[in-house]
Amino acid sequence: MSLQDRVESLRARHRSLEEAIDQEISRPMPNVEVLADLKRQKLRIKDEIFSLEHTAQA
């Protein structure tokens, strides 16, 4: 898998996590633990994307 493919895969996962967060928030009683976990995953992916993009530019 090329670097660009990895970044695109991570971006797709990031979008899917955003959708999962939106769905959880829209529930009558959102589970704060689930939301926190989803947000942590999303942030880790964002950090990895950032790192990969900066590695590619160097």
| pLDDT tens digits for range 3-46 | 999 999 999 999 999 999 999 999 999 999 999 999 999 999 99
Number of domains in the chain: 1
Amino acid 55: pLDDT: 86
| Whether pLDDT at 58 is above 80 | no
Range of the domain at 22: 3-57
Q: Is the dihedral of CA 48, 53, 56, 58 positive or negative?
A: negative
Give me 23's structure tokens: 């769905």
Amino acid 56: pLDDT: 79
pTM assigned to the model: 0.88
3-state secondary structure the chain: CCHHHHHHHHHHHHHHHHHHHHHHHHCCCCCHHHHHHHHHHHHHHHHHHHHHHHHHHC
Average pLDDT over residues 48-54: 95
